[in-house]
Amino acid sequence: METNRFETFFDAIIAIIITVLVLKIPQPASPTLEAVLELQSVYAAYFISFLILYNIWYANHNLFQVVDNIDNTTVWIYGIMTFFISLLPYFTIWLARNVYSIPTETMFGVIFIVTHILHTLATKAIYKSNPYNKKLQALNNDSYLLNLPVIILIIGFILTYTVYIPGIYVCCLISIVLWILIGRFVKEEDNGN
């Protein structure tokens, strides 16, 4: 399958999810700074979810610049990933309203881990379906650094279940920032070779 239609479809889905995500943010109770600050957990959760979606879009944008075709395996993996990222608005607001709740922390962390794993699997499927694409092979997305965000998130689960309930929330933020930085580092490393 050619990637143009698929990329447009996936970009539209991410745009819709971001729109739904921002529409879920409640208005402050009054037009005061205190009322705005009362919603800080909502803004932080939105920021984390937005970064997750943006990073997926940005990574796909860069990847599809060098890929001409994808196979059905890739389409199915992206379909499953689309299902999970479409749940982000729901779990983001649930987390924002219940930062100190282990079930909400857990579900938000699970969505993040599953999304990261599916994105990694989709990338590997694209590589496998394009074995002779020299531009794609030059990207070298097999860096061991790409596993660090999941390791950080596992640490967040340990924190949440032992000493600090918002551990997953905090580690999601650290993980997504790390995921973005690693993506840039790997890309710069590839451009240097």
pTM for the full model?
Answer: 0.89
Q: Measure the CA–CA gap between 92 and 42, rounded to whole angstroms.
A: 8
How many structural domains is the chain composed of?
1
Between CA 59 and CA 7 the distance in angstroms is: 12
**Helix, strand or coil for residue 182?**
helix
Q: Is the Cα torsion angle 131, 134, 136, 141 positive or negative in sign?
A: positive
The domain containing residue 33 runs over which residues? Answer: 3-192
Render each residue's pLDDT in the chain as its tens digit; 193 residues. 778 889 999 999 999 999 999 999 999 999 999 999 999 999 999 999 999 999 999 989 888 988 978 999 999 999 999 999 999 999 999 999 999 999 999 999 999 999 999 998 998 899 888 888 888 877 766 667 778 899 999 999 999 999 999 999 999 999 999 988 887 776 666 565 5
Task: In whole angstroms, give the CA distance from residue 57 to residue 118.
Answer: 14
Beta partners for residue 69, in sequence order: 2
Q: Are 48 and 172 in contact (CB under 8 A)?
A: yes
